[in-house]
Chains A and B, each alone.
Chain A
Amino acid sequence: MSASYVAVGWNRQKKIYDGLIAAFCIGYLALFIMLTLLFNNQVTFETLLIRSTSTLALLLLHFILAIGPLCRLNKKFLPLLYNRRHLGVTMFTLALVHGSFSIFHFHAKGNVNPLVSTFTSNTNFNSLAAFPFQSLGFLALIIFFLMAITSHDFWLHNLTPKIWKTLHMFVYLAYLLVVMHVMLGVIQYESNPVFVIILFAGSAMLVLLHLLAASKEKRIDQMKFLVQQEGYVFVCDVNDIENRCAKIFCIDKERIAVYKHENKLFAVHNVCKHQGGPLGEGKIIDGCITCPWHGYQYLPNNGQSPPPFKEKVSTYDVKVIDNKIWLNPVAFPEGTERPGAIINN
């Protein structure tokens, strides 16, 4: 969270995160190159580079796509989400190296422009076995490129979160293109079933994780709150919420986070203004509701980010009667001060 734009707002956590990414990538590439040279010492530098970067990029893509649902299923994975964008840019860089060297290696030695040759050397679109798989990889690379160059908060703010999120959801299409790029490309030549099984297992894992997370979210969306009193809805007992934490309730299609803080209860809209993170899954840190995704903060009593920040979320009225929490789902304008409900001990 920063008041102005800098290339990267470095902090200790980001440095550790990026250090781990770099160490893993270097370790993987070194291991891949050593093992390949051990079993095939005639392999060329270009081939080594193309294969090592492609497998690493594919592995990272699976990991990146698993982070979102893992966080929704278990809060312990939230630290992985914190700097996911750096992981995405790393994956794009590796895919770019793979794509560039592949185009150079396979298409630069002819008398046709390599980029033109990539799309025109094979036009067997009606054949699965001889399908022009390189074009699938190229299209996926374009999507990753657009995502990488717009990954900074500057673009998130200027494109608006809705457009930005829509653009970044194209990663799912890119994933499909990558899977088919592999299946219709290298798998047609290296038809060892182990490669197919690994790719199938990776895809199945992602599908399963996303569907499990979606099912969990759907259950929250379908919560029923029947007991109503003067516009207030009974949601839970006071003891159901831990101090400095929240519970999320979905009432009339809106998710509301009810926080317990300093013997009071406050209710704010659950969606963070930054990237739509679930505020109710965060904690009160330094007196502020802190989004679990990227640390954006809001004051519990008015839903405003502390100065100099300008983000605001809606607030709601909440009251306590006989140790039971009652919530009014009518939202106040973003940043409206609300007194909160005092908890009677």
Chain B
Amino acid sequence: MIKGLRKRHRQIWIAWAVILPAGIVFAWLAIPNQQPVKLLREEKIELLPDIVKSADKKDYLVNLRSNKERTTWQLEWQNKTVLAVPSAVIYKASLNPSEGGTFESFKPEQAELIGRIETKAVYVFVLPADSSGYEQLHLVLYEFIHEQKIDSINLLP
């Protein structure tokens, strides 16, 4: 290697010694706290016995499950067919249009994230306690890569 080339190598790696760690640290710090698409299905959850509400669609079956005392809740999501998108997330949305609740006005930042689904499988997500016993449960399936709403589901008793 000639001297000029050795010097160029040295200069590049001195620059990289600053840029690489800085890039890694800044990118790490930028990870969103809520991790919006992190939640994949939780493994090995035992299904609660009662199906309180249900929605049976062409591509998926969705059940709201609870125990006898209605103190713990689960959302069971069964993909009947392979998703047409590589990955999607489920949001619990408000029914109020002013809160971004309807399908047309849906905004993920105003909704409550439930979890992420990917393939033809059964997914079970633990839901937080709800004072109304999930009288209303409006879900929106959202494709986060292209930021597109795929479907909205109202669960019925």
Contact = CB atoms under 8 A, between A and B. Distances in A.
Interface in A179-198: 179-180, 183-184, 187-191, 196
Interface residues of A, number: 49
Contacts of B145: 106, 121-122
B24 A110 contact: no
B13 A255 contact: no
Nearest to B35: A191
A205 B16 CA distance: 12
Interface in A80-136: 105-106, 109-110, 117, 121-122, 128-129
A211 B6 contact: no
Contact of B24 (A46, A188, A200, A276): A200
Interface stretch (B25-33, B60-68, B94-102, B132-140): B25-33
Contacts, number: 105
Contacts of A12: none
B19 interface: yes
A97 B72 CA distance: 45
Contacts of B16: 172, 175-176, 206-207, 210
Given A210-B9, A276-B1, A176 B27 contact: no
A189 B1 contact: no
B70 interface: no
Contacts of A121: 145-146
Interface stretch (A19-27, A213-221, A322-330): A213-221
Given A122-B145, A211-B13, 12 more contacts: A42-B118, A43-B119, A44-B119, A106-B145, A129-B32, A165-B5, A189-B35, A199-B24, A207-B17, A211-B10, A221-B3, A276-B2
Interface residues of B, number: 35
Interface in B88-126: 118-119, 121
A340 interface: no
Contacts of B146: 110, 117, 121
B21 A203 contact: yes
B37 interface: yes
A204 interface: yes
Interface in B21-69: 21, 23-24, 26-28, 30-32, 35, 37-38
B129 interface: no
7 contacts: A169-B8, A184-B27, A188-B32, A204-B21, A214-B9, A254-B3, A255-B3
A41 to B, nearest CB: 9
A43 to B, nearest CB: 8
Nearest to B11: A214
A271 B5 CA distance: 12
Nearest to B17: A207
A76 interface: no
Closest A-B pairs by Cβ, 9 of them: A183-B27, A128-B30, A214-B10, A210-B13, A42-B121, A276-B1, A129-B30, A207-B17, A203-B20
Contacts of B32: 129, 188
Given A105-B86, A176-B20, A188 B30 contact: yes
Interface string A300-325: 00000000000000000000000000
Nearest to A39: B43
A140 B106 CA distance: 36
Contacts of B26: 128
B85 interface: yes
